[in-house]
Structure 1
Amino acid sequence: MEEVYDVVVIGAGIFGSCAAYHCQKRGLKTILVEQFELPHKNGSSHGLSRIIRYAHTEREYVPLVSDAYEQIAELEAKTGEALWKQTGLLWVSTPQEVASMSKILEGSNIEHETISGEEVAHYSVYESFFSLPTFTFP
């Protein structure tokens, strides 16, 4: 018997998986096709360095990130699994870009802190471990 689908999504990465999830959620008969056996480590969304962040130079990202956090919480509630771990972010950039991001974050009431390169260099090993756990400073 031939199967007929409303939607065929090619690629089970983050975009494909989200597209398939939302199509299915809207009642569309959906099939998700992936070239590798799941789970695998071949995609760009794999690894410990992946992050969801509000820090962008375009304010249009803020509602998208907020929506992503809401969808993650919804999926965690449905599956009973923790899908992410909240961490901090140290963004190293030009003073102009940092100021632009800070203005966007302030305008969106998103808690953040800006520090200079000199301030980062003065973090103690203890502070680095707890405040900036991904980084070590001599």
Structure 2
Amino acid sequence: MLELKDVKLSYGSTQVLNGVNLSVKRGDVVSIIGPSGTGKTTLLKCINYLAKPSSGTIAFDQIRMDYQRADKTAVQAIRLRTAMVFQQFNVFKNMTVLQNVMDPLVVVQRKSTDEAREIALRELDRVGLSAKRDSYPSQLSGGQLQRTGIARALAVRP
């Protein structure tokens, strides 16, 4: 279960999130919709502590954290169990598709290169990109870049 309570975040004098509360149970499917610039992506970044709220709390299963006193161990535990596919894909331009999918498995989850490769190949097949595994991002379409990001997110088993 994921629960956010009273999450607040400002950029300078602009309040982006003002006391957001959210509760998502295992198996729920939730859509966050609204006009551009209303804080949807910022809210998602707060879950992984990629954006640092000024106040509020997060509970993710047994992990609990007060954003004002963010604990490095709790942040890491949450990041190990979540994944995001960013709007800009955020793939590494100097890495192949396969390397992009393997990277979080090796760097964050500390899996062996062989195990990471096996998982990455399975996820690339799942999103229909096996044939592009040795391609670089500059050689891909927007949809292929998006699927690379999806494969990377799925590979870490969020």
Give the alignment's TM-score, normalised by structure 1.
0.27
Max radius of gyration: which structure?
1
More strand by share: 2
Give the alignment's TM-score, normalised by structure 2.
0.25
